[in-house]
């Protein structure tokens, strides 16, 4: 069911949060576009400027030109965005003791920078704040690599073994990190309220996770500007920007406990 009265929907969402024992937030690219990070598939998105075939793990490893293109993109996306009101609202739910965890498809670290506890943020696609050597497995902070790019390097390699250096994110053709995915499924399967924010739920296997919550009997709320395959299974769908809607929800939660 889709409604457009944001105040009414914020009150309903806050009411569900208050009644629930374990609330899980699932976030996608739509929450971070409000911080200036472009998504991939929308008009004007990344895939209008880059060829997705250049962003497979196999091509990254085998083709220096593909690595150059990918580092060019990661340089564009890295270190410039700030948490927006939606990230801050989610962090506030943690501080209020109302949120079990965040499961995110994003790699931008904005949930943590907003104040969400790092051990309660399950990053299905990795974290762009780190790079890893595929040879010796040494990890490097992204600031260090960006500094090298700023000095003119186009394809940085490992400073220790000169192996292939890769942003610590999941590329096409790579499996999701097994431990993180397992933890995400566990928390989804134990929650009683699952809130999707800014995801069209079309990237698998991450998009399967809300189904685990539904199968366990959890209520589903979807906050997303575009339709998703699970809209019909949701208690209600909110077609609004997360940064506009989530602060309204949190304020009503705070009013109820204050």
Furthest-apart CA atoms within the chain: distance in Å: 58
β-sheet bridge partners, residue 222: 196, 237
CA distances from 129 to 73, 105, 156, 239 (A): 14, 15, 15, 31
Residues 102 and 122 sit within 8 Å (Cβ to Cβ): yes
Strands (E), 114-192: 121-123, 126-133, 139-141, 165-169
With vertex at residue 190, the alpha carbon angle to CA 220 and CA 83, rounded to the nearest 5 degrees, is 60
Alpha-carbon distance 44 to 231, whole Å? 25
229, HSE (Cβ side, Cα atoms, 13 Å): 9
In sequence order, which ranges of the chain are alpha helices (DSSP H)? 6-19, 29-32, 57-62, 64-77, 85-95, 110-114, 142-150, 178-190, 209-215, 242-257
Residues 6+ apart with CB under 8 A from 154: 68, 71, 72
Q: Please tell me which residue in 87, 125, 137, 187 is annotated as part of the active site.
A: 125
- 113 contacts: CB under 8 Å, gap ≥ 6: 82, 83, 87
Q: Is 125 a catalytic residue?
A: yes
Cα separation, 191 vs 215, in Å, equals 11
Active site positions, annotated: 125
């Amino acid at each position: 069911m889709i409604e457009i009265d944001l105040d009414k929907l914020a009150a309903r969402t806050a009411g569900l949060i208050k009644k629930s024992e374990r609330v899980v937030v699932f976030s996608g690219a739509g929450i971070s576009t409000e911080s200036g990070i472009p998504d991939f598939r929308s008009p004007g998105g990344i895939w209008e400027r880059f060829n997705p075939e250049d962003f497979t793990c196999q091509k990254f490893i085998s083709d220096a030109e593909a690595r150059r293109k990918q580092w060019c993109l990661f340089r564009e996306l890295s270190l410039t965005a700030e948490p927006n009101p939606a990230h801050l609202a989610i962090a506030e739910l943690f501080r209020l003791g109302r949120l079990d965890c965040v499961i995110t498809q994003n790699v931008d670290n904005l949930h943590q920078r907003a104040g969400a506890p790092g051990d309660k943020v399950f990053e299905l696609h990795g974290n762009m704040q780190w790079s890893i050597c595929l040879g010796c497995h040494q990890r490097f902070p992204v600031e260090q690599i960006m500094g090298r790019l700023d000095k003119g390097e186009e394809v940085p390699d490992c400073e220790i073994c000169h192996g292939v250096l890769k942003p610590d994110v999941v590329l096409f053709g790579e499996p999701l990190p097994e431990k993180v995915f397992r933890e995400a499924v566990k928390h989804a399967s134990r929650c009683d309220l699952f809130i999707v924010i800014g995801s069209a739920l079309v990237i698998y296997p991450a998009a399967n996770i809300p189904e685990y919550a539904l199968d366990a009997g959890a209520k589903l709320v979807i906050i997303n500007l575009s339709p998703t395959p699970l809209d019909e299974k949701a208690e209600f769908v909110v077609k609004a920007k997360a940064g506009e809607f989530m602060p309204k929800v949190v304020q009503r939660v705070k009013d109820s406990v204050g």
